[in-house]
Structure 1
Amino acid sequence: MQIKSKWMYGVSAIVALSFVFFPRDIFANSLAEDQQKLAQLQSEKATVEQQVQSDAAKELALKNAIATFDNSIHTVELQIETNHVRMASLRAQEHQLGVQLAQNQQELETDQNELAQIVRSEYEDGNVSYLEVLFNATSFTDFLSRLYDLSVVSKTQNQVVQSVKTLQQAIVDKQNEVKASEQQVAQIEAQLQALQATDEALKGEKQHNLAVVEADIQSGKKQQGLLESQIQLTQSDIQAIQAATQAAEQQESNPQYVQQQQAALVPADPNSIIGYAEQFLGTPYVWGGTSPSGFDCSGFTQYVFAHFGVYISRTSEEQFAAGVPVSQNDLQPGDLVFFSTYAPGASHVGIYIGNGLMIDSQDMGVSIDSVFNSYWGPKYIGARRYITH
Structure 2
Amino acid sequence: MKNDLTLHDSLKEIDFQALLRDYVLDAVLLTTMDGNVRYWNRTAEALFGLSAAASEAQVETVLRAHWAEIGAQLQSEGYWRGTLQYQRADGQWLYLETQMALVRDKRERPTAVMVTSRDITAERRLIQQMENQQAFLRQIIDTNPNIIFVKNAEGRFTLANKALADSLGTTPESLIGKSDADLNPNTEEVRQYQADDALVLQTMEARLVAEEPATYANGELHWHQAIKVPFVAADGQKYILGIGIDITERKRAEEERERLHQQIVDAQREALRELSTPIIPLFDGILVMPLIGSIDTLRARDIMRSLLAGVSQYKAQIVILDITGVPLVDTGVANHLDKAIQAVRLKGAKTVVTGISDAVAETIVDLGIDWSKVDVQRDLQAGLKAALERLGMKVGR
Please say which structure displays the higher CA radius of gyration.
1
TM-score by length of 1: 0.21
Whichever structure has more helix as a proportion of its residues is 1
TM-score by length of 2: 0.21
